[in-house]
Chains A and B, each alone.
Chain A
Amino acid sequence: MKALPSRSLQIIIGILIVVGIVLLALAGILRPILGFVMDPFVAVQRWLSDQVMTVIDFFTLPRDVSNLLQRNAELENEVSRLQSQVIQLQEQVSEAEVLYSLLDFARARPESQYVAAAVIGRDPSPFLHYIIIDHGSDDGIRHGMPVVTQQGLVGRVDAVTASAARVQLITDPSSVVNIRMQTIKREAQLVGSITGELYLEMIPQDVVVNIGEILLTSGIGGNYPADLLVGQVISTRKKENELFQTALVQPIVDFTTLRAVLVVTSFKIIDIEPLVPRQTP
């Protein structure tokens, strides 16, 4: 038998050793030894890497900071833009909610025709309670037409131009609304005041008015349609030496936050002036 050449033998032995080491490593037997050998190298490499990164950061960080600052400013601008957009959208949602409520009200009363209008101003006089709306005679609005919201009665049109109208609120001191008390079926007059409070007047002394009594328009006088919600009684005042008792009324409509209204354009005002008896001298 011919002996293998020493060179080939060395290669085979080398391969066997390598395969053996690989097998031992795969089996996990060499892990402690490898760890013992590799750990110092890993530690040195980590330290070296840290130093290199520090040097790299030293040269590149200022540029990154300026980039970050620029990016931050861009994002802040974007946030501001989005915030203003959110506010605008919230405003639109709020308007849409009001308009949907008005639409629901109009749909619930299909017998009447309405014109929706936005409140664009208020009377500058502190003694009077009027609002300005953005629709006028071009949209079919006429003097005396009742104005409502989904909650209830607001007032009536007092003056009209082609594109705007002035509405007298029921809280105005010269406003008088004939109303009916829902439970006890008695009628009275609702009058406004300079400070915006509503008072129920002309209630006979013998009538018992309950706190919380709901008030609806009676339709008497022909100025307002019947059965519109107006408010509720919150207190009563009764004096024995007076002919009538009075009551303080909480309006159903919040006049301070009024943003949109409906003008009842189909309502025909009945002029009872010729029927009122005149005093002859």
Chain B
Amino acid sequence: MSNLLILPILIFLCMIQVVAISRLPLLHGKADLILLVIIAWGLQEKARNAWILALLCGLLISFVTASPFWSIILPYVTVAWLARHLHSRIWQSPLLAMILITFIGTLFQHFLMILGLIFEDITINFSDIFGSITLPNLILNMILAVLVFVLVKDIAGWVYPVEIHE
């Protein structure tokens, strides 16, 4: 039932990403709301379906973007796995884990996207990319990470209500 509840939220998120977030760049960097939601969801205690969420989001975004599908799906699934893994390791500080995985995930995603561009024989100026895309993207993702984590935590509490044992 919870998976069914997540699906409309996912579609809505993808629409927000394409319609709004993609139109609000910092230099040339764009925040990745989907990546942040996947990480935040993966860090929730009862959200064991994070990788399904990552896969679905990856497929939805792959349908819209011109990037190779693997450069979208792979980072999403990786951060979902990382979030579940780190959640069980440093569960006392999920916010710290959120920021750490956001940092790693953004860099990994950019690495794969650049790899995709290299495969298409596109000339790449790494200093330009780092200065005007990767760094602004990291800043935007880091800023949004805290906000998204709080929101997703609330949603998780709504989807998986706490059981009271008497």
Contacts and interface: CB of A to CB of B under 8 A. Distances in A.
Interface of A: 120-128, 130, 132, 158-159, 166, 168, 172-174, 193-196
A258 to B, nearest CB: 10
Contacts of A127: 67, 113-114, 117, 129, 133
B28 A123 contact: no
Contacts of A166: 64, 66
B157 interface: no
B20 to A, nearest CB: 9
B30 A124 contact: yes
Nearest to A122: B22
Given A120-B19, A194-B124, A195-B133, A126 B25 contact: yes
Main secondary structure of the interface of B (DSSP, over half): helix
B65 interface: yes
B22 A124 contact: yes
A125 B123 CA distance: 17
B64 A196 contact: no
Nearest to B14: A124
A132 B64 contact: yes
Main secondary structure of the interface of A (DSSP, over half): loop
Contacts of A173: 117, 122-123
Interface string B109-124: 0000110010010111
Contacts, number: 74
Nearest to B121: A174
B106 to A, nearest CB: 10
A168 B22 CA distance: 15
22 contacts: A121-B19, A121-B22, A121-B64, A123-B22, A124-B21, A124-B22, A124-B65, A125-B30, A125-B65, A125-B66, A125-B113, A126-B28, A126-B137, A127-B114, A128-B66, A130-B66, A159-B66, A168-B66, A173-B117, A173-B123, A194-B28, A195-B28
Given A123-B66, A127-B67, A194 B22 contact: no
Contact of A194 (B21, B25, B66, B133): B133
B76 to A, nearest CB: 12
A123 B21 CA distance: 10
B148 to A, nearest CB: 16
B61 interface: yes
Interface in B35-71: 61, 64-67
A130 B133 CA distance: 16
A126 B30 contact: yes
A193 B124 CA distance: 8
Contacts of B113: 125, 127
Contacts of B65: 123-125, 128, 130
A189 to B, nearest CB: 13
A158 B137 contact: no
Nearest to A168: B66
Nearest to A164: B64
A210 to B, nearest CB: 26
Contact of A121 (B18, B32, B123): B18
B29 interface: yes
B18 to A, nearest CB: 4
